[in-house]
Structure 1
Amino acid sequence: VRLLDGTSLCSGRLEVKSNQRWSSVCEADFDQQDAEVVCRELGCGAPSVLQGALYGEVEAPMWTKEFQCGGHESALLDCRSSGSARNTCSPGKAVGLTCSEPVRLVGEASRCAGTLELKHQGDWRPVSDPLSVWTLKTAAGVCRELDCGSAVSVGQREESSDRPVWLIRSPCGQSGSALRDCARPGSSPSILDLTCS
Structure 2
Amino acid sequence: SGSGTCCSGSGVFSLSLLSSIISPDSVRLVNGTSLCSGRLEVKTNQSTQTWSSVCEQDFDQQDAEVVCRELGCGAPSVLQGALYGDVEPPMRTKEFQCGGHESALLDCRSSGSDRTTCSPGKAVGLTCSEPVRLVGGASRCAGTLE
26, 29, 34: which one aligns with 1:8: 34
Equivalent residues of 2:53, 2:88 under 8 A apart: no
**CA distance change for structure 1 residues 115 and 54 in 2, over 3 Å: closer, same or farther?**
closer
1:26 CA drift (Å): 0.2
Is the counterpart of residue 35 in structure 1 residue 64 in structure 2?
A: yes
**CA distance change for structure 1 residues 31 and 110 in 2, over 3 Å: closer, same or farther?**
same
1:39 CA drift (Å): 0.2
**CA distance change for structure 1 residues 108 and 80 in 2, over 3 Å: closer, same or farther?**
same
Q: What residue in structure 1 maps to residue 104 of structure 2? A: 75
- 1:104-146 C-alpha deviation (Å, 9 max, x unpaired): 99999999999986xxxxxxxxxxxxxxxxxxxxxxxxxxxxx
1:61 CA drift (Å): 1.0
1:34 CA drift (Å): 0.1
Can you give the 5+ residue segments of structure 1 that lack an aligned partner in the other structure? 118-197
Q: What secondary structure is seen at the aligned counterpart in 2 of 1:35?
A: helix
Counterparts of 1:84 and 1:25, CA distance in 2: 15
1:91 CA drift (Å): 1.0
Mark the structure with the bigger radius of gyration: 1
1:102 CA drift (Å): 1.6
Equivalent residues of 2:86, 2:121 under 8 A apart: yes
1:41 CA drift (Å): 0.3
**CA distance change for structure 1 residues 4 and 106 in 2, over 3 Å: closer, same or farther?**
closer
Counterparts of 1:7 and 1:113, CA distance in 2: 14
Question: How large is the RMSD of aligned CA atoms in angstroms?
Answer: 5.2
| TM-score (normalised: structure 2) | 0.70
Answer 1 or 2: which has greater helix percent.
2
Give matches, 1:10-159, under 5 Å.
Answer: 10-19=36-45, 20-103=49-132
Q: What secondary structure is seen at the aligned counterpart in 2 of 1:103?
A: coil
| TM-score (normalised: structure 1) | 0.52
**CA distance change for structure 1 residues 77 and 105 in 2, over 3 Å: closer, same or farther?**
same
- 1:33-71 C-alpha deviation (Å, 9 max, x unpaired): 000000000000000000000001133211000000000
**CA distance change for structure 1 residues 56 and 104 in 2, over 3 Å: closer, same or farther?**
closer
Q: What secondary structure is seen at the aligned counterpart in 1 of 2:77?
A: strand
Counterparts of 1:15 and 1:110, CA distance in 2: 27
**CA distance change for structure 1 residues 40 and 18 in 2, over 3 Å: closer, same or farther?**
same
**CA distance change for structure 1 residues 46 and 111 in 2, over 3 Å: closer, same or farther?**
farther
List structure 1 segments (4+ residues) > 6 angstroms apart after TM superposition: 104-116
Equivalent residues of 2:29, 2:39 under 8 A apart: yes
